[in-house]
Structure 1
Amino acid sequence: MYTVNAPPDRVVAVLSADERWMTLALDLAPRGLGRTAPNPPVSCVIVQGDEVVGQGFHPRAGEPHAEVFAPHGAGAHARGATAYVTLEPCSHHGRTPPCTDALIASGVCRVVVSTLNPNPRVAGRGVQALRDAAIDVSVGILEAGATRQQAGFRSVIVRGRPWVVAKYAMTLDGKVAAVGEGNGKVSDAAARERAMVWRNELDAVAVGSGTLNMDDPALTTRGVPGGRYARAVVFDRQARSNPQAQAWRPGSVLVTAPDAAVSAFEASGITVVRAETPQSALTQLGHLGLSSMLLEGGPGLLSTLLDAGLVDEVRTFISPKLLGGGLSPLTSPDRRMNEAQELRDVTVETLGQDVLVTGLLSDIPRL
């Protein structure tokens, strides 16, 4: 990327050819979010000259990978072309054959890889396999964007647990609810629509027992074309949640203490995770194939995971309202300002009358 001459108040960024085509690939990959775990969301674009001749993304676990769909679409036009892939292709047999084999067989002469694969079974071997086949390989094009898309996959591979995203809405004076009111709407429609998109894109949506019992949330995905339900996860150490709550459905998970009585939940087909610590709970959720989790409440659960260093990303809607008394988003002990946890890679966006602030608390795992 480079800049061109422009008026003093404007800087015009010009993408290189590789950045241009990789941007197209990165726009395509998220179509698999929430559907590919334990695999990553990956896309592949094949370019011949200045024309896209094939493209594809990994739609869900167990189905062909992007590096199979794109050459299939390109056909004979792939020979001598360049393939742009958002993650280093796998070079081993899993549920499907190696993606490197598909690229080699297609006849492409060059492969541009956004970022290396952290899976120890790949981790550079895919690039080497392509080079051994006399294919030119470039690595590191728009790497930051690719690793952000793959945060869940990378978290499970490197740390053995899902990437945890805390989401909440609060008033301008920092309140998430009025006392005793339960699920009063804080943000407006645009913010709630964005939250539904996140439920569609992340593998699980989690709440604590207090939120479940007071609000009885369905934890479904609504208003998203082609949307799917994230797996509902309820943290309840004493397993005293209402077994008839709306969140319980096939695939729902109860996270509870080792000695909790759970027969009513097991009889309903609920998956039970018994854990001594929050870290153990998240590790077991990773073993269930969950690579990302949207944490929606309440303050007690958020504080527990935050204080344990297990919240990786924060997405907060701030609504232009003043409530006065009410519930804060955290119940953590008082700290000094110099002990505050600071977000990194912060973005600020206006949604209707609300402001969305997002940022990272953890580095996205690499190799």
Structure 2
Amino acid sequence: MTTTSSGAVTATELDALRRAFALAARGPASGPNPRVGCVLLAPDGTTVGEGWHEGAGSAHAEVAALDDARARGRSTVGTTAVVTLEPCDHTGRTGPCSRALVEAGVARVVVAVRDPNPVAAGGARTLADAGVDVLADVLPDEGRAVLGAWLPAVERGRPFVTLKLASTLDGRVAAADGTSRWITGAVARQHAHDLRAEVDAIVVGTGTALADDPSLTARAADGTLVGHQPLRVVVGLRDVPGDARLRGEGGELVHVRTHDPAEVLAVLAAREVRHALVEGGPTLAAAFLRARLVDEVHAYVAPVLLGGGLSAVADLGVATIADAVRLVPRRVQPLGDDVLVVATPEPPASAGDDTQSEEP
């Protein structure tokens, strides 16, 4: 991103950026567009307007902030726009925010994160070319956190993949007779529904679809459907029965007839899916892990022992401990009697890594 500012960020601008992060968080977690917030500061440092993006087709955060300032009867000439993401520079469902800021007479723009989307990027250059003072990469870590799965999805050109596992302490997802309801408790199950409400698609294999007949909906604590229902994606060659619960109320059913995880993600990317939740079963989980297409693991672990039955993940082709898929824990959260472990896969070791094995 172009940075033309000769001055450092001010304390007032940092406070405004933190406010913009809070505004951005009001936007929807799902959907093709990012969460963005914007605060407009007058030359004396007072706020003249603020806004956030409420979802695809609605005004972007910068335009919302400009509209807010005008509604307050405040001038936007000479203001500073403090924005969580680089203003867009393209015309889609809405016009380019970079030009809207220039036309409003904004004198300075402070940005947390550059836009990796080649379609929308370029706003900083347009602003700089128009004589606007642009300061970039301010509190970038906080900015990336607000953008969540959207940012890596756009950077990688495919949906961000969260693999969800719900298992016993010894890694089982079903008993020897096939029963699995309920391994985890009500608190953990509701947390999983809340996660569903934040993603764009839930992915299962045909084996899970046929064996469990799931509905794959996102529900509130009282059992009712929440407002956002993700796509329900079934992967595999076998047909989904006409009377399956997947064809009932909830999100659209998408059947991807393949066993290739990369092909699944390509289909979802074409549908502007930014965050996919892979829920099952063990074969599908293993396929995504073997393809190194899992970005994050949410493991719900119940204090239950079965000693047998179906494992949470099928064969990964790991013949020796050196080839194990290792994860980096990011968060551990108690959920009633259960525990949620959020972890990310370690990058594969380089060919020259000669680290010795460790004995207990």
Report the TM-score when normalising by structure 2. Answer: 0.81
Q: How does 1:21-32 map to 2 (within 5 A)?
A: 21-32=16-27
- The answer to whether the 8 Å contact 1:161/1:284 transfers is no
For 1:315, the equivalent position in structure 2 comes to 298
For 1:291, the equivalent position in structure 2 comes to 274
For 1:167, the equivalent position in structure 2 comes to 164
Q: How does 1:1-367 map to 2 (within 5 A)?
A: 17-37=12-32, 39-48=33-42, 52-75=47-70, 76=74, 78-123=76-121, 125-150=122-147, 152-223=149-220, 227-239=227-239, 241-248=240-247, 251-257=252-258, 277-332=260-315, 333-344=317-328, 346-361=330-345
Give me the whole-angstrom Cα distance separating, in 1, the residues matched to 2:29 and 2:183. 26
Q: Deviation at 1:42?
A: 2.0
Q: Secondary structure at the match of 1:201?
A: coil
Q: Deviation at 1:166?
A: 0.6
1:37-69 residue CA offsets vs partner (Å, 9 max, x unmatched): 1x2222223344565443322222222211111
Q: Deviation at 1:306?
A: 0.9
Q: CA RMSD in A?
A: 2.7
Once superposed, which parts of structure 1, at least 4 consecutive aligned residues long, lie more than 6 Å away? none
For 2:7, the equivalent position in structure 1 comes to none
Give me the whole-angstrom Cα distance separating, in 2, the residues matched to 1:351 and 1:78. 47
Q: Deviation at 1:303?
A: 0.5
- The answer to whether the 8 Å contact 2:19/2:39 transfers is yes
Give me the whole-angstrom Cα distance separating, in 1, the residues matched to 2:263 and 2:59. 32
Give me the whole-angstrom Cα distance separating, in 1, the residues matched to 2:99 and 2:319. 55
Q: Secondary structure at the match of 2:286?
A: helix
- The answer to whether the 8 Å contact 2:31/2:273 transfers is no
Q: Secondary structure at the match of 1:137?
A: strand
Q: Secondary structure at the match of 1:95?
A: coil
- The answer to whether the 8 Å contact 1:178/1:184 transfers is no
Q: Secondary structure at the match of 1:283?
A: helix
- The answer to whether the 8 Å contact 1:313/1:362 transfers is no
Closer, same or farther in 2 for the Cα pair 1:82/1:150, shift >3 Å?
Answer: same
- The answer to whether the 8 Å contact 2:219/2:226 transfers is no
1:71-90 residue CA offsets vs partner (Å, 9 max, x unmatched): 21122254444322221111
Closer, same or farther in 2 for the Cα pair 1:362/1:172, shift >3 Å?
Answer: closer
- The answer to whether the 8 Å contact 1:18/1:141 transfers is no
- The answer to whether the 8 Å contact 2:329/2:341 transfers is no
Q: Deviation at 1:36?
A: 3.3
- The answer to whether the 8 Å contact 2:150/2:274 transfers is yes
- The answer to whether the 8 Å contact 1:62/1:95 transfers is yes
Give me the whole-angstrom Cα distance separating, in 2, the residues matched to 1:200 and 1:93. 29
Give me the whole-angstrom Cα distance separating, in 1, the residues matched to 2:139 and 2:328. 19
Give me the whole-angstrom Cα distance separating, in 2, the residues matched to 1:40 and 1:362. 26
Identical amino acids, percent of aligned pairs:
39
Give me the whole-angstrom Cα distance separating, in 2, the residues matched to 1:101 and 1:51. 23
1:226-258 residue CA offsets vs partner (Å, 9 max, x unmatched): 63101111112233x32321122562100114x
- The answer to whether the 8 Å contact 1:182/1:215 transfers is no
Q: Secondary structure at the match of 2:62?
A: helix
Q: Deviation at 1:175?
A: 1.9
Q: Residue type of the partner of 2:307?
A: G
Give me the whole-angstrom Cα distance separating, in 1, the residues matched to 2:329 and 2:62. 30
Q: Deviation at 1:188?
A: 2.3
Report the TM-score when normalising by structure 1. Answer: 0.80
More off after superposition, 71-80 vs 167-176: 71-80
Paired residues in the alignment total 328
